[in-house]
């Protein structure tokens, strides 16, 4: 998806009514057609546009029938329903320029679905399109908002590669998610490493895929360029072949639009019938090729998708998130990409690597031969590509990370904060404090192992209502403790008395609940208010 600045600049080239986003300040400059003696320019803020879109959404029953430009209807309804004073004034004196600007913004937010709409003549006003536009424009508008506070972000922008590490459940992934709030989804790429991960699942490889018919929809301006290219290239029967190749786009156009395309290419508008012949052939071909054949093509994976996006949007930050980085064989997965992780003071790879023939061919097709991302057949990480990873220090990794790989990353420890004080564990109607249980168990783990690696993080479990049931306690928390922490008898956790150990299986069955309460009592877990837990008959649940 193109950013709003680039999108408006591009579509304005084929529009009588220009619109550009300011580089500072958060407003759009738009113009009239200039047909009456030179173009005149006007400005409207993003917040003004947002309020106008919200007004249209609130009055959708009125505006849903105004998708084609009619000056009287838009002037009258704009004057009546637009609560923003700037938009209201423009709706009466610059009706069509405002209409065109609103349509362009809606088309931008709903790429590629609305790419075929001519913003000077039509506007999409369905509920989904409006809600999507409002949501995306809010993000753009917020980017211009003055900030008087320091963002809660401990990541230095100069750190291009960071591994967030800590005990399980400390919120490493949550921290990354919070730091990327406001970043467009198309600039975030995720993958999770596991023992079977390799270079092909991280970067990409040739794979068998189903060949599909062309389904991209082109805008009128793009179609003019395509037909001009065919005509100037000496293609015979170009209107018919053009219709067959781009039939899906032509089906969405009216007769007037088709004539405009022909005239723009210096061809008679009588050729619209030849377009229709080609469209019929294209549709028939699709019907005959429903069972697509299997072909081999290069299929990019998370790293390559992020790499391409970073070079396509050099002014925007692009993020590659690797979950559980130490569960995979990093040497095998990264391969020679390892060399790229050395960055200079500007965040660009100090050393480049040669791309193999398949990768080189794919990137040249995606980016262009002269793009820095594949120039001279070499790969180089750009400064706007950030790689964040998470690592559970408790994992018994099959593939330890070597020191050479480690030193190419910045490391950020995520400690246990014991902050979910409102959470409780409920066993047969008795409430226990989660933080009390967490602290006591972690102290025992630390004494037994002299390490924090296997301790319980704040989000080891994440109940939606703050209530941890006995089922979750048994099947997730205690199961982990029994198998990963106390499997050799360490920890002094599975006990109901100083000299009375219990097994995990004893916590199930007829006496399971009773034994579980005894275990909680032995550990000294308090209730949510910090008081000692007693039984229903007010006897302290400590007699053993």
More confident residue, 464 or 474: 474
Max CA separation in the chain (angstroms):
99
Read off φ and ψ for residue 387, nearest 5 degrees: -120, 115
**Domain boundaries in the chain?**
4-144, 161-207+298-412, 220-291, 424-523
**Model pLDDT for residues 374-405, shown as the tens digit of each residue:** 999 999 999 999 999 999 887 655 678 888 99
Tell me, what's the pLDDT at 541?
43
Q: Are 42 and 97 in contact (CB under 8 A)?
A: yes
Establish how many alpha carbons lie within 13 A of residue 440's alpha carbon, considering only the half-sphere containing its beta carbon: 18
How does the average pLDDT of the chain come out, rounded? 85
Per-residue pLDDT of 42-51, as tens digits, reads: 789 898 999 9
Instruction: Label residues 249-285 b or e (16+ Cβ within 10 Å = b).
Output: bbeebeeebbbbbbebbebeeebbebbbebbebbeee
* Structural tokens at position 342: 């050395």
Across-strand partners of 378? Answer: 354
Distant-in-sequence, close-in-space partners of 512: CB < 8 Å, separation ≥ 6: 474, 506
Residue whose entry in the numeric block shows the structure tokens 């998610």: 177
Q: How many Å separate Cα 142 from the centre of its chain?
A: 18
Q: How many CB atoms lie within 10 A of CB 189?
A: 23
Rounded to an integer, the average pLDDT of 180-186 is 91
**289-315 per-position pLDDT tens digit:** 555 566 678 889 999 999 999 999 999
Q: Which helix (H) or strand (E) holds 444?
A: helix 434-449
**Predicted confidence (pLDDT) per residue in 425-439, tens digit:** 999 999 999 999 999
Query: CA-CA distance, 512 to 535, in Å (whole number)?
Result: 16
Residue at token pair 């990137």: 363
pLDDT, tens only, 500-510: 888 898 998 88
pLDDT digits (tens, 9 = 90+) for 229-279: 888 878 888 889 898 888 888 888 889 889 989 888 888 888 888 888 888
Give me the architecture of the 161-207+298-412 domain, per CATH.
Answer: 3-Layer(aba) Sandwich (3.40)
Query: pLDDT class for 542, splitting at 50, 70, 90?
Result: very low
Sequence-distant (≥ 6) Cβ neighbours of residue 109 within 8 angstroms = 129, 132, 133, 135, 136, 137
Find, among 157, 73, 165, 68, the residue nearest to 119 by Cα: 68
- Which letter does DSSP use for residue 186 in this model? G
* Residue 225 CB coordination number (10 Å): 14
The DSSP 8-state label assigned to residue 451 in this structure reads -
In the prediction, which pLDDT does 152 show? 39
Q: What percent of the chain has pLDDT over 90?
A: 46
| Nearest of 415, 494, 400 to residue 456 by alpha carbon | 415
């Amino acid at each position: 998806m193109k950013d709003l600045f680039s999108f408006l600049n591009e579509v304005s080239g084929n529009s009588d009514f220009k619109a550009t986003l300011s580089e500072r300040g958060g407003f759009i400059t738009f113009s009239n057609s200039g047909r009456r003696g030179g173009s005149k320019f006007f400005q409207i803020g993003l917040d003004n546009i947002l309020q106008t879109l919200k007004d249209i959404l609130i009055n959708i029953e009125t505006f849903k029938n105004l998708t084609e430009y009619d000056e009287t209807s838009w002037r009258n309804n704009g004057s009546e329903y637009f609560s923003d004073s700037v938009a209201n004034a423009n709706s009466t004196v610059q009706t069509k320029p405002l209409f065109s600007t609103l349509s362009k913004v809606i088309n931008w937010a709903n790429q590629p679905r609305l790419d075929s709409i001519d913003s000077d003549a039509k506007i999409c006003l369905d509920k989904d399109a409006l809600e999507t536009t409002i949501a995306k424009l809010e993000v753009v508008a917020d980017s211009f908002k003055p900030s008087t506070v320091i963002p809660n972000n401990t990541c230095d922008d100069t750190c291009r590669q960071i591994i967030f590490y800590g005990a399980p459940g400390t919120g490493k992934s949550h921290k990354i998610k919070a730091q990327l709030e406001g970043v467009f989804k198309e600039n975030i790429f995720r993958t999770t490493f596991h023992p079977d991960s390799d270079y092909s699942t991280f970067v990409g490889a040739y794979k068998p895929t189903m060949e599909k018919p062309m389904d991209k929809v082109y805008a009128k301006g793009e179609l003019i360029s395509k037909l001009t290219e065919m005509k100037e290239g000496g293609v015979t029967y170009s209107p018919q072949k053009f219709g067959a190749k781009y039939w899906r786009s032509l089906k969405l156009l009216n007769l007037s639009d088709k004539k405009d395309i022909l005239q723009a290419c210096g061809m008679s508008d009588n050729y619209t019938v030849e377009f229709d012949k080609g469209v019929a052939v294209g549709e028939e071909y699709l019907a005959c090729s429903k069972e697509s054949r299997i072909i081999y093509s290069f299929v990019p994976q998370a790293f390559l998708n992020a790499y391409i996006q970073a070079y396509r949007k050099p002014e925007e930050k692009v993020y590659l998130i690797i979950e559980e980085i130490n569960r995979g064989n990093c040497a095998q997965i990264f391969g020679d990409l390892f060399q790229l992780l050395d960055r200079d003071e500007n965040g660009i790879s100090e050393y480049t690597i040669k791309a193999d023939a398949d990768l080189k061919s794919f990137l040249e097709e995606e980016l262009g031969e002269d793009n820095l991302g594949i120039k001279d057949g070499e790969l180089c990480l750009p400064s706007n590509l950030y790689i964040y990873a998470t690592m559970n220090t408790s994992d018994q990794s099959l593939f330890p990370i070597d020191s050479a790989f480690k030193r190419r990353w910045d490391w950020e420890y995520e400690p246990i904060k014991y902050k979910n004080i409102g959470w409780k564990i409920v066993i047969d109607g008795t409430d226990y404090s989660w933080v009390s249980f967490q602290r006591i168990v972690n102290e025992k783990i630390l004494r037994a192992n002299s390490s924090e690696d296997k301790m319980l993080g704040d989000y080891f479990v994440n109940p939606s209502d703050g209530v941890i049931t006995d089922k979750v306690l048994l099947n997730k928390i205690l199961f982990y403790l029994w198998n990963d922490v106390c499997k050799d008898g360490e920890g002094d956790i599975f006990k109901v008395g100083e000299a009375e150990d219990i097994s995990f299986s004893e916590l199930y069955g007829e006496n399971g609940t009773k034994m579980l309460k005894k275990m909680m009592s032995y550990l000294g877990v308090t209730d949510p208010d910090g008081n000692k837990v007693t039984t229903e008959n007010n006897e302290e649940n400590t007699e053993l």
